[in-house]
Amino acid sequence: MHHFNYEDGHLHCEGVDLNEIADQIGTPVYVYSTATLRRHARVIAAAFDGMDCLIAYSVKANGNLAVLKTLASEGCGADVVSGGELKRALTAGIPAHRIVFSGVGKTREEMVLALETGIHQFNVESGAELIELSEVAMGLGKVAPVALRVNPDVAAGGHPNISTGKAGDKFGVPWADAPELYHQMKALPGVEAVGVDVHIGSQIGDLEPMRAAFKKTIGLVKFLRDAGHDLKRIDLGGGLGIPYQASDSPAPPSDYAQMIRDVTEGLGLQVILEPGRVIAGNAGVMVSEVLYHKPAPDRTFLIIDAGMNDLMRPALYQAHHDILPLAEPSADTPRTTYDIVGPICESTDKFAAQRKMPEVPAGGRIAFMSSGAYGAVLSSQYNARPLVAEVLVDGDQYALVRRRPSFDEMIQLEQMPDWLS
């Protein structure tokens, strides 16, 4: 569910006409709905009511400070994968004891920051990282709480690039190596095994791969407990899918929660979850303006002012986004088949191929639906284009929560060497 609907002939976010935002802020622009963010956070929390459960929102899905502050007010923790994301979460008011640090390539500096901050847990992804964390923690006189991320060799995810649980993926430690690494951890100073972590992919609609991976991981927890490891937590990652189009029907959070209750029942474990897309995805749209129509022998290009640097998902994952005109089409509005493309000098700068939709004139505006996750966070300044602006709506009010930098500000990050001055 989301709060983007046509009212009085115009697409609105909650009580605000998206045309008003485009007029004031310019395009392209991301627009997020507070009501949708809150509703999704509450639906997930309600599904796990009564369980010892830490809902650690995945900051990589959408790390805007205003979004994080909104979710912090709903009691969400954070799953971070960099020192920058950790600082964002803390700045937004998420307490350190509700933050887990994931990722395969943590630096010593990031480890120091997380240890000094006092985070809830490190999700460690290799033996080398474990040794490094031990050394860093010892140097600070601290003990790092650790869950090893295990790779269960279970395939899942809506695209090969977002499947993370197969044996050939870079994530996690090989399943067969996990018992020995936990044994080594007992002898290492500065680290303490507190749980096991698993995450098999993203945009997962079918719960069965998750169930298989979770049951396998629970078996490992029991084995390790029998071997003398006092494990208190299981981090089950994120990955629950969202509907990007009407034909999508991913499992609802209620079914997801019941499956997790079934596989963890009676073990006395704190369950850690890392939802991202399922909270933020349908809470945002990207608004863009049509620049030109360009006829070709076998198609018509709709050229817009947003590029793949603003919304990377179609180029990176061949992802589908529903695309709606901001002006509500009538029953007799002509339909046209477009290839929707941007101004970037790349053939991959294509948002949709042969998309049949209501005609949109030059100067008309369109909204890319369900772009609140992995949209603005993946944006770049490729082709010297400024980062896209972001706006948060709450009821009938809105605020600019990331402004578009000027060209001068972009240039000021660079400097000439002395021999060229």
Q: Which two three-digit tokens encode residue 85?
A: 């994301």
CATH 2.40.37.10 in the chain, residues?
4-31+281-411
Given this model, what pLDDT does residue 206 score?
87
Please identify, in words, the CATH class of the domain defined by 103-273: alpha beta
Query: How many CA atoms within 13 Å lie on the side-chain side of 263?
Result: 23
Task: Give the C-alpha separation, 280 to 373, whole Å.
Answer: 5
4-31+281-411: which CATH topology? Lyase, Ornithine Decarboxylase; Chain A, domain 1 (2.40.37)
Q: How deeply is 408 buried, as exposed, middle or buried, from its count of CB atoms within 10 A (0-12, 13-18, 19+)?
A: exposed
At what angle are helices 207-226 and 178-187 packed, to 10 degrees? 40
pTM of the model: 0.94
Residues tagged active-site? 345
Query: Parallel, antiparallel, or unpaired for β 99-101 and 10-13?
Result: unpaired
Task: Note every long-range contact of 126-131, with CB atoms under 8 Å and residues 24 or more positions apart, other chains counting.
Answer: 126/173, 127/173, 127/177, 127/181, 127/184, 129/104, 130/181, 130/184, 130/185, 130/188, 130/191, 131/188
Q: Are 342 and 304 in contact (CB under 8 A)?
A: yes
Q: Where are the beta strands (DSSP E) in 16-92?
A: 16-17, 29-33, 53-58, 77-80
Given this model, what pLDDT does residue 54 score?
98
Sequence length of the chain is: 421
Given this model, what pLDDT does residue 381 score?
97
Given this model, what pLDDT does residue 412 score?
96
At what angle are helices 65-72 and 34-47 packed, to 10 degrees? 40
pLDDT in tens, 337-357: 999 999 999 999 999 999 999
Q: Which of 63, 129, 125 is nearest to 94 (CA)?
A: 63
Given this model, what pLDDT does residue 292 score?
97
- Each residue's pLDDT, cut to its tens digit, for the chain (421 residues) gives 789 999 999 999 999 999 999 999 999 999 999 999 999 999 999 999 999 999 999 999 999 999 999 999 999 999 999 999 999 999 999 999 999 999 999 999 999 999 999 999 999 999 999 999 999 999 999 999 999 999 887 755 554 544 444 555 667 898 899 999 999 999 999 999 999 999 988 888 889 989 999 999 999 999 999 999 999 999 999 989 999 988 888 889 999 999 999 999 999 999 999 999 999 999 999 999 999 999 999 999 999 999 999 999 999 999 999 999 999 999 899 999 999 999 999 999 999 999 999 999 999 999 999 999 999 999 999 999 999 999 999 999 999 999 999 999 999 999 999 999 8
CATH 3.20.20.10 in the chain, residues?
103-273
Q: Which two three-digit tokens encode residue 334?
A: 């002509």
Tell me if the bond preceding 334 is cis, omega within 30° of 0.
Answer: no
